[in-house]
């Protein structure tokens, strides 16, 4: 793609050997049907411990217009996302998970809103999470409630597929080192007066394998959220980059 890239799709990948081939097949079936979007795809393989890298390298021959970034050692979801953002050139950027829980057939609904310039942050909202076990469902509900209560905003889903304008991402520094990076983007966008819009999204559940998200990872995100809450209340807080 060239400098006129409209949208960059960013996918961090870790231990998804059972899902990644199907995910890419379904993903590119949608994208190849819409060359007018002038899209690019950036995949970040984050030092997987299974055969994800071998599967990816085999699959990449079918998708020569995708860019693959490889981390020799696992650096975490946040580092992968930041590397994808840094490598992207689109006017808009959209995060897509590698686990097939997000249905790629929904992408046109996201892009249509972005093409109309209706928002700077577009959030997919999983109104139904039937594929979640009861414990994880309640954990997600509590997490959303706490973030809304602490930061005095009303968001219905902080950690699902999202799209952001380049204008916004160029305006803020991302300091998070955990899953809190997605709420950080949303909160700073809110504080700077950027437009935020939500769109219903289907949660299909993981197609194969086991999620790498656990209590330790969720706990780290919540702890970082609390630290950010204290910082946001201080006189030192500046949501925008220093000039």
Backbone angles phi, psi at 102, to 5 degrees: -85, 135
CATH tag for 7-233 (out of 3.30.465.10, 3.40.50.1700, 3.30.930.10, 3.90.550.10)? 3.90.550.10
State the pLDDT at residue 14: 95
In 3D space, the residue among 126, 137, 105, 132 whose CA is nearest the CA of residue 201 turns out to be 126
Rounded CA separation 185/187 (Å): 6
Q: pLDDT truncated to tens, each residue of the chain (243 aa)?
A: 445 899 999 999 999 999 999 999 999 999 999 999 999 999 999 999 999 999 999 999 999 989 999 999 999 999 999 999 999 999 999 999 998 889 999 999 999 999 999 999 999 998 766 666 655 666 778 889 999 999 999 999 998 999 999 999 999 999 999 999 999 999 999 999 999 999 999 887 666 666 666 567 777 888 999 999 999 999 999 999 876
- pTM more than 0.85: yes
Rounded CA separation 25/95 (Å): 17
State the pLDDT at residue 1: 42
Instruction: Please state, in angstroms and as integers, the Cα–Cα distance from residue 124 to each residue in 54, 95, 107, 164, 199, following that order.
Output: 31, 10, 10, 12, 5
CA dihedral (150, 151, 154, 158) positive or negative = negative
Rounded CA separation 15/212 (Å): 8
- As a dihedral over the C-alpha atoms of residue 48, residue 52, residue 58, residue 60, rounded to 10 degrees, the angle is -70
Rounded CA separation 217/214 (Å): 5
């Amino acid at each position: 793609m060239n400098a006129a890239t409209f949208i960059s799709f960013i996918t961090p990948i870790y231990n998804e050997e059972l899902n990644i081939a199907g995910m890419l097949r379904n993903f590119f079936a949608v994208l190849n049907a819409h060359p007018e979007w002038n899209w690019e795809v950036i995949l970040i393989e984050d030092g997987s411990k299974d055969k994800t890298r071998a599967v990816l390298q085999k699959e990449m021959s079918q998708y020569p217009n995708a860019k693959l970034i490889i981390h020799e050692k696992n650096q975490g979801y946040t580092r992968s996302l930041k590397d994808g953002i840094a490598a992207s050139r689109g006017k808009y950027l959209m995060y897509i998970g590698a686990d097939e829980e997000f249905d790629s057939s929904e992408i046109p609904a996201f892009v249509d809103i972005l093409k109309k310039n209706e928002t700077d942050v577009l959030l997919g909202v999983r109104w139904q999470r039937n594929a979640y076990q009861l414990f994880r469902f309640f954990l997600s509900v509590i997490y959303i409630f706490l973030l809304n209560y602490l930061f005095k905003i009303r968001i219905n889903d902080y950690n699902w597929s999202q799209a952001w304008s380049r204008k916004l991402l160029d305006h803020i520094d991302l300091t998070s080192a955990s899953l809190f990076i997605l709420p950080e983007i949303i909160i700073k966008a809110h504080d700077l007066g950027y437009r935020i819009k939500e769109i219903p999204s289907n949660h299909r559940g993981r197609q194969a394998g086991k999620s790498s998200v656990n209590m330790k990872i969720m706990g780290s995100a919540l702890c970082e959220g609390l630290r950010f809450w204290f910082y946001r209340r201080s006189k030192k807080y500046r949501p925008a980059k220093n000039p």
